[in-house]
């Protein structure tokens, strides 16, 4: 069982702040707005890939009773809106981390810690994905206003 990729929450916050604080420079020319859009799309695709990898990792736990599922729906510009959420194996119903708490507390320490880290990553990836889709929308509007 490999450990979920560590993501530094503080670094994520700084990256999001830096991205929003520097938006003004991306609005100056059509070329900078286009570059901004392409760069954000690449980052969004990477986050969505990490969501899939996290889902696969939780499903690979032997005897798992719950797992992280990737929820997809199409939104504007042909993009997929994705989020990761917990599901129960029996009935494939959506559940919450709070509901899973008693089950997780009963697990051996190493597996319990792995699931706690997986949940932290679930939250951070959902935050990143939502923020990047907002940035994509902003960059697209900037391109429209700049005449592309």
Token pair 């994905």 is found at 129
| pLDDT digit string, tens, across residues 106-133 | 999 999 999 999 999 999 999 999 999 8
Question: Mean pLDDT lowest for which of 11-20, 53-62, 67-76?
Answer: 11-20
Mean pLDDT of 139-144: 83
The pTM assigned to this predicted structure is 0.78
pLDDT for residue 19 is more than 70: no
Distance of CA 36 to the CA centre of its chain: 19
pLDDT band at 24 (very low <50, low <70, confident <90, very high): low
Structure tokens at 88: 């129960």
- The C-alpha angle with vertex 9 and arms to 7 and 130, in degrees rounded to 5, equals 90
Cα distance between residue 118 and residue 45, in whole Å:
20
DSSP state for residue 2 in the 8-state scheme: P
Report pLDDT for 7.
Answer: 52
Distance of CA 14 to the CA centre of its chain: 16
DSSP state for residue 94 in the 8-state scheme: B
Structure tokens at 61: 């736990």
């Amino acid at each position: 069982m490999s450990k979920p990729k560590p993501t530094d929450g503080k670094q994520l916050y700084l990256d999001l702040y830096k991205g929003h604080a520097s938006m003004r420079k991306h609005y100056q020319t059509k070329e900078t707005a286009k570059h901004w859009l392409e760069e954000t799309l690449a980052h969004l695709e990477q986050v969505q890939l990490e969501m899939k990898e996290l889902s696969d990792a939780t499903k690979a736990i032997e005897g798992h009773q719950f797992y992280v599922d990737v929820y997809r729906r199409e939104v504007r510009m042909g993009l997929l809106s994705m989020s990761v959420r917990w599901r129960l194996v029996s009935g494939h119903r959506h559940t919450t981390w709070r509901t899973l708490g008693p089950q997780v507390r009963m697990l051996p320490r190493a597996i319990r810690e792995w699931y706690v880290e997986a949940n932290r990553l679930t939250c951070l990836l959902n935050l990143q994905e939502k923020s990047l889709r907002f940035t994509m929308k902003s960059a697209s509007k900037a391109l429209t206003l700049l005449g592309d």
